[in-house]
Amino acid sequence: MPFYGVKLSSCLLLGTARYPSPAILGEAIKASGADVVTVSLRRESGGERAGQSFWSLVRALGVRVLPNTAGCHSVKEAVTTAHMARELFDTTWIKLEVIGDADTLQPDVFGLVEAARILSEDGFEVFPYTTEDLVVADRLVEAGCRVLMPWGAPIGSARGLNNVYGLKSLRAHFPDIPLVVDAGLGVPSHAAAAMELGYDAVLLNTAVAEAGDPVAMARAFALAVEAGRMAYLAQPLEPRDMAAPSTPTIGKAALGD
């Protein structure tokens, strides 16, 4: 499903923070096959040598940049950061984060909707980091968002999909909106599970960046999202309450006494 009219070849979006080195980051992005990487404006600076080096690395990889407003705790801060990112990275795409709780990094959904409306009216194409709440999702769509990014679990927690029912309900409620599970995935099976629910992509960072071998883990996640997507399209069996024999009972040999 296109993201603001852009068709991606990979269902994996990758973050760029916390890698052991720029070289490992570059190799991990290549191994993941990701078309899109997220970049925090707080780490990237056009006036610093380190920032220029990082930006040159990302451009050399030929991937699309999705700037984010990571660490913003107010509407004003998020909107200001988004405008700075648009100028620096020359893109109207923005991953919108408005954090409401310092411990869980749960989104402030009230501020998120307000910021999404302001940015959408100003020409941004907003990717909101949100919860799996249906009412909040409706408000974000009304505010102009054409992509929704509900969390799987708190950022960096590696807990996987905390609320499968909520994520399934969101998918059923928005069949024509691209949905991306963002945050909390720890192992490739978590990503496969999200894709099996019918999600269009997953976005992750810590699970790859802090793995013992980030490059191998990036490849593992790439395979997982591909497998999960293929499984969803293949229409898997629904869970059953009773056993169903795989061997036909009709025509079974009858043995006499």
Catalytic residue set: 95
Task: Give residue for tokens 């990571």.
Answer: 70
Question: Cβ of 201: how many Cβ atoms within 10 Å?
Answer: 26
Q: Note the helical H segments in the chain.
A: 22-32, 49-60, 75-89, 109-121, 134-142, 164-173, 188-196, 206-209, 214-233
Name the DSSP letter for residue 106: -
Which residues are CB-neighbours of 150 under 8 A, at least 6 positions away? 130, 131, 132, 137, 166, 167, 170, 179, 181, 182
Q: Does residue 156 come out as left (phi exceeding 0), alpha (psi in the -120 to 50 range) or beta? A: left
d(CA 143, CA 252): 62
Position 90, amino acid: D
Nearest to 62 by CA among 23, 85, 36, 41: 36
Residues 94/65, Cβ–Cβ less than 8 Å? no
Q: Does residue 47 come out as left (phi exceeding 0), alpha (psi in the -120 to 50 range) or beta? A: alpha
Question: Cβ of 181: how many Cβ atoms within 10 Å?
Answer: 28
